[in-house]
Amino acid sequence: MPVSPDQFRGLPPELAAEQLSDRVGIEIVSWDPDRVVGTMPVAGNRQPAGLLHGGASAVLAETLGSVAAALRSMPERFPVGLVLACAHHRGVSDGLITGVASPLHVGRTVSTFEITITDQDGHRTCSAHLTCMLPDAAKLPAMATSESQRQVRQLRHDVDDVYEIVSGHTVELGEIRSTLAEHGATLAEHGAKLDELTGSVADLRGSVAEILSLLRPGGEPS
């Protein structure tokens, strides 16, 4: 799986999306704190002579050592590289290289890891040592703001949910109002017809009364 620091709690997404380890194609294949293993392709990471760039080996070494440190120290402490020393033994022209990070010293505020890098034939191509400081994660700028950023993102999410609910109810209210308007128009039509019918009944009563008066003995038209 590709290594990405957002797998460690607290790193803001905007930083997680800009990690060098992803750009050089590093993949972590073992997440054991005592033996972090990762691979990196030669393709895309060459120097002008066509061989693997030494700086790419350094990126792999620091990534694996930092992951090993993070697995032991986070979330309370966040590893920061202090010293990286690399010795390049032989060139690599193609395929994958594999790095293995193992602890040499694990302390509360400083840890050191040995990283060995080999080619696909098992030949050692680079030996590295990484020493990491382990400061309080809450004191790092990116980590210190992450909790407030998380709260802001959650608040925005909640507001979006409320807006969606309100929008849904607004649509429902609009439909109800439309239905009531339709019923109101229908009632108005029925009311008009009822008024016409009432007038017709009144006229009919008048006619019936006139006919009855004619039918009475000595009755005359009124």
* Catalytic, out of 14, 18, 27, 62: 62
161, two tokens: 């949910």
Among 83, 144, 154, residue whose Cα is nearest residue 114: 83
Three-state SS for 142-196 is HHHCHHHHHHHHHHHHHHHHHHHHHHHHHHHHHHHHHHHHHHHHHHHHHHHHHHH
- At which residue do the structure tokens 């920061």 appear? 80
Question: If DSSP codes are grouped into helix, strand and coil, which group holds residue 98?
Answer: strand
From the list 55, 40, 44, the residue with the least C-alpha distance to 99 is 40
| Number of separate helices (H) and strands (E) present in the chain | 5, 6
Question: How many whole angstroms separate alpha carbon 173 and alpha carbon 167?
Answer: 10
76 in helix, strand or coil?
Answer: coil
- Between CA 187 and CA 171 the distance in angstroms is 24
182 is a catalytic site residue: no
Residue with tokens 């209210």: 173
Known catalytic residues? 62
